[in-house]
């Protein structure tokens, strides 16, 4: 029997019991829609986390001042003053490290006209932008000469620009950081939230020497950021840095390190793994819904076989082979499943759009995901339609005609 003829017969058979067919399709439609929505939400969240991981930096290694032991009590992070500019210069000489940026950080009020804002002031080197994969949107980044002269210049994050200047152009304007006048020479591109939920655009960058000498009045560093030469070199580079700092700081094993190596990318990666696990769980639940819908199709097809026993007998009596009968009923089951899958795609796309619009969740729909949903629906119809089709093909023609 030609495939097109089989499909036409299948559609006519399904149309004879429209309500029953629609109810059977509904289960498949809901399963496919649930699959598309769950995977779209999961993929959107994973893509967002991946973007946040990228925003952390280029193979970022973060060395911060550690704690010290005072009468048996640890002071916590930034409790020591042993991290110095000479340490940063020594780290720069390591063969697995590039783009080292010393940091001196503080929170300080910034004022322009009658507007003020408390923000993170980060004293950095020009290499900071390369380490963090950040770019200047307008203006320029300060230079090594500005660092050498402790120049009173700054580059603003977009949150600070919006708060202090609104729609006005900040380039060339003078703001006050604490009581230090500072000229704005650049504006950073929007960075967004970090994987830990912090607003990375709420920041003001200055030469680290300016913050060190004119704002905080200290001679040490709070932390150092640098990049490994590659992602594969992150571990070995951290080992090199740890060994170097222990040597330079005359490390005593009983006291522990006076610095910390932070791994923000590891935290973000763990979050991404958790999101992928959640996506898999939701997709599995949707797959269960498809299986349940497939059982419904099997039930309907068994009823159809019982109702059409005489029709099957007539077909067999006039020369239809067993495989023709089997193919006919199998096509009905698969057609029912594919029609339900097509409706499910529409419901899934509408549901995904609704989730993104109402809940403000990021979603992502890929073409291969839609193809997979339809293929899965067809496979469910084929699997659960096989037994009723086989049962129909094995009916005794004489017994069937006698009913």
- Residue that the structure tokens 């339609």 belong to: 385
Phi, psi of 396 (to 5 degrees): -75, 120
CA atoms within 13 A on the CB side of 397: 10
Give the mean pLDDT of 295-321: 77
Domain ranges for the chain:
3-52+269-401, 81-257
| Residue 396: predicted pLDDT | 67
* pLDDT higher at 56 or 319: 319
Confidence category of residue 14, pLDDT binned at 50, 70, 90: confident
CB 234 within 8 Å of CB 59: yes
The answer, yes or no, to whether residue 73 has pLDDT greater than 50, is no
| Residue 162: predicted pLDDT | 95
Rounded to 10°, the helix 322-354/264-307 angle is: 140
| Residue 274: predicted pLDDT | 65
CB 262 within 8 Å of CB 138: no
The answer, yes or no, to whether residue 38 has pLDDT greater than 50, is yes
The C-alpha angle 140, 142, 146, rounded to 5 degrees, equals 150
- Residue that the structure tokens 């309907």 belong to: 300
* Most confidently modeled range among 175-184, 266-275, 324-333: 175-184
Q: Is 12 left (phi over 0), alpha (psi -120 to 50) or beta?
A: alpha
Whole-number mean pLDDT of the chain?
83
Among 48-62, 237-251, 314-328, 369-383, which is the least confidently predicted range? 48-62
- Residue that the structure tokens 């992070």 belong to: 77
| Residue 70: predicted pLDDT | 45
What pLDDT digit, counting tens, does each position of 234-259 carry? 889 989 998 998 888 877 655 667 78
Element (H, E) at 182: strand 180-188
């Amino acid at each position: 029997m030609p495939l097109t003829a089989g499909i036409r017969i299948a559609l006519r058979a399904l149309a004879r019991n429209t309500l029953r067919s629609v109810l059977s399709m509904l289960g498949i439609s809901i399963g496919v829609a649930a699959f598309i929505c769950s995977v779209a939400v999961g993929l959107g969240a994973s893509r967002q986390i991946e973007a946040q991981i990228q925003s952390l930096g280029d193979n970022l290694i973060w060395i911060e001042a550690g704690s010290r032991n005072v009468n048996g009590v640890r002071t916590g992070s930034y409790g020591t003053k042993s991290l110095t500019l000479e340490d940063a210069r020594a780290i720069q000489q390591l063969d697995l490290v590039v783009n080292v940026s010393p940091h001196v950080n503080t929170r300080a009020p910034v004022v322009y006209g009658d507007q003020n804002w408390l923000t993170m002031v980060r004293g950095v080197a020009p290499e900071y932008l390369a380490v963090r994969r950040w770019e200047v949107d307008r203006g320029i980044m300060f230079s090594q000469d500005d660092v050498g002269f402790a120049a009173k210049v700054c580059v603003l994050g977009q949150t600070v620009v919006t708060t202090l200047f609104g729609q006005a152009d900040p380039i060339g304007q003078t703001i006050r950081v604490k009581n230090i006048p500072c000229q704005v020479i650049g504006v950073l591109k929007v960075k967004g939230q970090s994987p830990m939920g912090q607003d990375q655009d709420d920041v003001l960058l200055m030469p680290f020497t300016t913050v060190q000498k004119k704002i905080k009045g200290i001679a040490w560093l709070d932390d150092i950021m640098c990049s490994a030469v590659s992602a594969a070199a992150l571990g070995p580079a951290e080992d090199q840095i740890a060994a170097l700092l222990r040597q330079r700081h005359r490390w005593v094993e009983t006291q522990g390190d006076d610095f910390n190596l932070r791994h923000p990318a590891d935290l973000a990666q763990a979050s991404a793994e958790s999101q992928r696990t959640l996506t898999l769980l939701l997709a599995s639940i949707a797959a269960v819904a498809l299986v349940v819908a497939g059982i419904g199709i099997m039930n309907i097809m068994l009823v159809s076989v019982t109702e059409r026993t005489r029709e099957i007998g007539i077909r067999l009596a006039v020369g239809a082979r067993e495989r023709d009968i089997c193919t006919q009923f199998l096509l009905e089951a698969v057609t029912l499943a594919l029609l339900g899958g097509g409706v499910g795609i529409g419901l899934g796309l509408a549901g995904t759009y609704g989730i993104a619009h109402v809940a403000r969740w990021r979603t992502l729909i890929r073409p291969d995901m839609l193809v997979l949903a339809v293929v899965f629906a067809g496979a469910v119809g084929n699997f659960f339609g096989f037994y009723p089709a086989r049962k129909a093909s094995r009916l005794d023609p004489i017994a069937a005609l006698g009913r």
